[in-house]
Amino acid sequence: MKVILNCAMSADGKIALPTRRQTRISNPEDLERVHRLRNGVDAILVGIGTILADDPKLTVSEKYISEPSHPLRIVLDSKGRTPPSAEVLKGDAKTLIVTAENCSKEFPGAKVVRLGEDRVDIHRLLDFLSSNGIKNLLVEGGGEVMWSFLNRGLADEISIFVGSMIIGGSDSPTLASGEGADSLDNIRRLALKDCERLGDGVLLRYEVLK
Ligand SMILES: NC(=O)c1ccc[n+]([C@@H]2O[C@H](COP(=O)([O-])OP(=O)(O)OC[C@H]3O[C@@H](n4cnc5c(N)ncnc54)[C@H](OP(=O)(O)O)[C@@H]3O)[C@@H](O)[C@H]2O)c1
């Protein structure tokens, strides 16, 4: 399975405000690119932190694609904290909530799969998705989930839109958070594939080296 990470960050590497509230970093050109990217994958994945902070729909907008493909939406949510009113549980696209095995929660409008003892095991999740025909997975954040995929060597590509702004703040979430590299050997190396001006921002595309 091909795993693509995508995110928008400020010029100082932040992906949200210090309060963790979402702020519009993508410009119109990048938004169109993201919706086209979503339309071309089988599934879009985020962590529960992103659901609680941003309440995203994770759909393809008809503003950009006249007949959207409705990729599967996936939430990593070990303890089942997705609110029943969450946008990700509404709309035409199907939703998969992935919890740990010790969580018994169910969600209206979503399928649930339980993988991992206390926390979702993303290796097992990728095996599960592959065996269910998912060939292209788009991971859209947040920082903790991005680091999990990078740290485990499970990401193939990363696209980063750099918006022309500084957010600042030592508490502002960054592109890859979690525990971070604990030694020089654990730093994730990238190979720059492409660099393109997109309106008033820049799009960087990297291969993640294994
Ligand atoms: N600019 C952008 O492109 C962009 C995109 C998305 C989000 N964001 C921002 O990112 C912030 C949220 O990021 P975040 O780091 O707090 O949360 P996150 O990465 O969205 O979600 C992290 C949570 O996912 C759950 N999870 C389950 N299994 C996991 C695993 N194997 N690896 C990692 N996480 C796992 C964990 O909670 P449990 O233990 O409860 O399962 C974990 O705390 C928000 O401020 C949002 O606005 C920005």
| Ligand 1 center–CA 177 separation, angstroms | 9
Could you read off the pLDDT of 95-132 as tens digits, one per residue?
999 999 999 999 999 999 999 999 999 999 999 999 99
Atom index in ligand 1 nearest the CA of residue 77 equals 41
Q: What is the per-residue pLDDT for 22?
A: 85
Q: How remote is the CA of residue 167 from the centroid of ligand 1, in Å? A: 19
Q: Kindly provide the b/e burial profile for residues 74-86, where b requires at least 16 CB atoms within 10 angstroms of the residue's own CB.
A: bbbbbebbbeeeb
Residue 37's pLDDT is 98
Residue type, 76: L
What one-letter code names the amino acid at 35?
H
Q: Taking CA 121 as the corner, what is the angle to CA 130 and CA 48, rounded to the nearest 5 degrees?
A: 100
Residue 46 Cα: closest atom of ligand 1: 20
Average pLDDT of the residues in 11-18: 96
Q: Using a 6 Å cutoff on CB, does residue 50 contact ligand 1?
A: yes
The domain spanning residue 198 has which CATH number?
Answer: 3.40.430.10
Planar angle of CA 61, 13, 206, nearest 5 degrees: 70
Residue nearest to atom 3 of ligand 1 (CA): 7
pLDDT digit string, tens, across residues 183-198:
999 999 999 999 999 9
Tell me the DSSP string of 9-41.
EETTSBSS-TT------S-HHHHHHHHHHHHTS
CA of 98 relative to ligand 1 center, distance in Å: 13
Determine whether the shortest distance from the Cβ of 122 to ligand 1 is under 6 A: yes
pLDDT confidence bin for 21, thresholds 50/70/90: confident
Whether 119 is in the pocket of ligand 1, judged by its Cβ within 6 Å, is yes
* CB of 80 shorter than 6 A to ligand 1: no
Please check the confidence at residue 133 and state whether its pLDDT lies above 90. yes
pLDDT digits (tens, 9 = 90+) for 61-78: 999 999 999 999 999 999
Out of 3, 15, 149, mutate this one to test ligand 1's pocket (max ligand atoms within 8 Å of CB): namely 15
Mean pLDDT of the chain: 97
**Is residue 89 classed as helix, strand or coil in its secondary structure?**
helix
Side by side, the strands of the sheet bearing 201-208 are 111-114, 95-99, 72-76, 43-47, 136-139, 2-10, 157-163, 201-208, 190-198
Name the token pair of 11: 């010029």
Closest ligand 1 atom number to CA of residue 9: 1
Whole-number Å distance between alpha carbons of 16 and 21: 6
Domain range for 96 is 2-208
Q: How many domains does the chain have?
A: 1
Asked if residue 8 lies in contact with residue 161, where contact means CB atoms within 8 angstroms, the answer is yes
pLDDT of residue 148: 98
